[in-house]
Amino acid sequence: MQVILGMFSKSKHVHKQKRGVSKSIFLERHGEPVAGGDVSGIYEVDGLELLTLRLTQSGGEGTDRDGTFVLREVRRNGALLTATKVYPDGRTKTLEGVFMDLVTRAGKTPEDATTTRMRGFGAVLDEPYAAAGGVFMDRVFFARR
């Protein structure tokens, strides 16, 4: 779980000065696991992609960009979820991720940074996701609606 949380961490502190004009950027981001409770719901990536999950005692079901699926071999260990997605045509894909609060501190300096929290699901993809502009991602944060 810590490895997956680490994939969503980022730290940046840049201060540049050119011709008397200074520019500063401060950013820290990390995931905090959210264990327990009902995690069924709709998750979204910036209005581009949806993931719906409904977990039950015997498995679950959902939808993603590839269609509807049934969840088999579901394992929850605190905030960590691993399962196999089985599509109607028999294809299978791995679902692995962590339910988390993505905590972001951003501003010009650490002193003026504000903190925001976004609850969601950080998923590790078994196939790279091709986003607009030719960017390939191996992990995606789905914000809970």
Instruction: Tell me the DSSP string of 22-45.
Output: EEEEEEEEEEEE--SS---EEEEE
Tell me whether residue 91 is in a domain. yes
Q: Which two tokens stand for residue 133?
A: 């502009």
What integer pLDDT is reported at residue 45 of this predicted model?
Answer: 87
- Sequence letter at residue 122: G
- Find how far residue 124's CA is from the centre of its chain: 8
Tell me whether residue 20 is in a domain. no
pLDDT classification of 13: cutoffs 50, 70, 90:
very high
- The 3-state secondary structure of 57-104, one letter per residue: CCEEEEEECCEEEEEEEEEEECCEEEEEEECCCCCEEEEEEEEEEEEE
- Number of structural domains, the chain? 1
Domain that holds residue 83: 2-14+25-144
Tell me whether residue 19 is in a domain. no
Convert the pLDDT of each residue in 21-62 to its tens digit: 989 999 999 999 999 888 999 999 886 788 999 998 889 999
Longest dimension (CA), the chain: 64
Tell me whether residue 53 is in a domain. yes
* Predicted model pTM: 0.88
* Secondary structure letter of residue 145 according to DSSP: -
Tell me whether residue 37 is in a domain. yes
